[in-house]
Amino acid sequence: MAQKFDEYLAEKSSLTKEEFETLKPLLTYRHYEAGEFLLLEGDVCRYHFFVEKGLLRSYTIDESGKEHIIQFAPENWYIGDRGSYYFDEPSTLNIQAIEDSDVVMFDQGFLEQAMCTSPAFTNFNERLLQNHIRQLQNRINLLLSASAEKRYLSFVETYYDLTMRIPQWMIASYLGITPESLSRVRKELAKREQKLS
Amino acid sequence: MAQKFDEYLAEKSSLTKEEFETLKPLLTYRHYEAGEFLLLEGDVCRYHFFVEKGLLRSYTIDESGKEHIIQFAPENWYIGDRGSYYFDEPSTLNIQAIEDSDVVMFDQGFLEQAMCTSPAFTNFNERLLQNHIRQLQNRINLLLSASAEKRYLSFVETYYDLTMRIPQWMIASYLGITPESLSRVRKELAKREQKLS
DNA sequence: CGTCGAATTGATGTCATTCAACTACAGTGG
DNA sequence: CCACTGTAGTTGAATGACATCAATTCGACG
């Protein structure tokens, strides 16, 4: 364990192995089986999660009981509920392992310590936030402007490797359509694909 | 001019008037007439904008020429394209004044200087970012889960004072529906309202 | 082999869009 | 002061995209 996170930080934030060693006591490593929950709706999110191995998802449940997937997190991604964490409010999100996963948990203490240790880490952290915002805005734009088919194509383009690992009904949920609709979209695309050849 | 921004910063980030005075040379004040553009698609966003008075909007245009409103910014709000600004990429957004507006423009230099001057400002800035993310996530959730009517109700609840100032077709665009649909939704709501009394 | 959830398919329903006509109103110029 | 014009908003009818419901197939796993 703990192989990936330090490599990731070294690469992305220029945090050296030595610096990482001093921070390591602030980290918690944990394994989750597929289906296990890292956070339940109503609880306050106390940690950020970094995925070393596996695949996680966060989702909400609406009044009619339907799930809506907010985010997927494969290897080298973060997940959590910043809103709940930062403003100390009960979360509206559930976070669950889709595959058996190895996860690094850390809190604000770790981040502050890391930012003290390395100014480069501060920049890196800022960059992560900015990038997150950019992604969310992109997704909003897609939801506002694109049809089911376009959304799916955009998803495949952006997360091609994930499309194999994520069950189709979850992709549908992420795109804001029903599994049936996604199935039909894919059928239609396959048909057109065929005609081209 | 310059009355509002310093008061806002004093209140929200505990930046004192004296501290503000040292930062003031880094600010640009400008007036925009209704309809004027602060940023055009394709340009890199070089400034953040703080609205002292008036109302702005940011929006994208899709391939079919339709506008999709990403954000409104009334008094005491920020607007800009963080993605473009931070990653130095051409923006996909247009930013335009809806009303005649007084705006404060500032760049990363101002932010860095302010964060140097006051640690409280650093926290405040972080808070802004986190809050922005939370808002965006909320909106995604709404777009994924709610009908036209629910989206509109949610909008009115959150931005009641703005519903008077923003033309209806722009609200429709923000909600991801057509102006006609919004008109019908409102009619339906009014009808139900009436029956209650 | 039997079971259970995922995925597909078909029939039907619903919500929102599209297109078009019409009203209301503000701004412009004669 | 009034016609002319353009834009916002409303309304109706037809259409379309996606949802819903139900039945069936597929595939993984015990």
pLDDT at position B51? 97
pLDDT at position B88? 96
Check A133 against B134: CB less than 8 A apart. no
Q: Does A150 touch chain B (CB under 8 A)?
A: no
**H/E element holding A38?**
strand A37-39
Q: How many whole angstroms separate alpha carbon A43 and alpha carbon B111?
A: 34
**CA→C1' distance for A53 and D26 (Å):** 29
Q: Which residues of A touch B83 (CB under 8 A)?
A: 130, 133-134, 137
Out of A60, A82, A141, closest to residue B133 by CB: A82
Protein-contacted bases of chain C (C-beta within 7 A): 6-11, 15-20
Check A136 against B133: CB less than 8 A apart. yes
Q: Which residues of A touch B173 (CB under 8 A)?
A: 144
pLDDT at position B197? 66
pLDDT at position A105? 97
Out of B62, B133, B145, closest to residue A132 by CB: B133
- CA A25 to chain CA mean position, Å: 24
Is pLDDT of A173 > 60? yes
CA angle, residues B15, B18, B21, in degrees to nearest 5: 95
Residue A6 pLDDT level (bands cut at 50, 70, 90): very high
Q: Three-class SS of residue A89?
A: coil
Among B44, B123, B133, the strongest candidate for a mutation testing the A interface, having the largest count of A CBs within 10 A, is B133
Condensed to tens digits (0 to 9), the pLDDT of residues A76-114 reads 999 999 999 999 999 999 999 999 999 999 999 999 999
Q: Does B127 touch chain A (CB under 8 A)?
A: yes
Q: Which residue of B has its CA nearest to A174?
A: B144
Q: What is the pTM of this model?
A: 0.95
DSSP state of A44: B
**CA→C1' distance for B36 and C30 (Å):** 30
pLDDT at position A150? 98
pLDDT tens over chain B, length 197 residues: 557 899 999 999 999 999 999 999 999 999 999 999 999 999 999 999 999 999 999 999 999 999 999 999 999 999 999 999 999 999 999 999 999 999 999 999 999 999 999 999 999 999 999 999 999 999 999 999 999 999 999 999 999 999 999 999 999 999 999 999 999 999 999 998 776 66
> What one-character-per-residue DSSP string does chain B give?
--HHHHHHHHHHH---HHHHHHHGGG-EEEEE-TT-EEE-TTSB---EEEEEES-EEEEEE-TTS-EEEEEEE-TT-EE--HHHHHHT-B-S-EEEESS-EEEEEE-HHHHHHHHHH-HHHHHHHHHHHHHHHHHHHHHHHHHHH--HHHHHHHHHHHSHHHHHHS-HHHHHHHHTS-HHHHHHHHHHHHHHHHHH-
Ranges A10-24, A55-69, B143-157: which has the least confidence: A10-24
- Nucleic strand C under 7 Å from the C-beta of A179: yes
pLDDT at position A1? 53
Taking CA atoms, B126 is separated from A77, A95, B5, B19, B111, in Å, by: 21, 24, 18, 19, 11
Closest nucleotide over all strands to B190 (CA to C1'): D10
pLDDT at position A20? 93
pLDDT at position A194? 75
**H/E element holding A151?**
helix A148-158
pLDDT at position A3? 76
Q: Which residues of B touch A82 (CB under 8 A)?
A: 130, 133-134
- Nucleic strand C under 7 Å from the C-beta of A182: yes
What's phi and psi for A145, nearest 5 deg? Answer: -115, -20
- Nucleic strand C under 7 Å from the C-beta of A138: no
Condensed to tens digits (0 to 9), the pLDDT of residues A21-49 reads 999 999 999 999 999 999 999 999 999 99
Taking CA atoms, A197 is separated from A152, A190, A191, A192, A193, in Å, by: 22, 11, 11, 9, 7
Check B87 against A130: CB less than 8 A apart. yes
Is pLDDT of A195 > 80? no
Closest nucleotide over all strands to A184 (CA to C1'): C8
Condensed to tens digits (0 to 9), the pLDDT of residues A110-163 reads 999 999 999 999 999 999 999 999 999 999 999 999 999 999 999 999 999 999
Neighbours of A186 (CB within 10 A): 15
Check A134 against B87: CB less than 8 A apart. yes
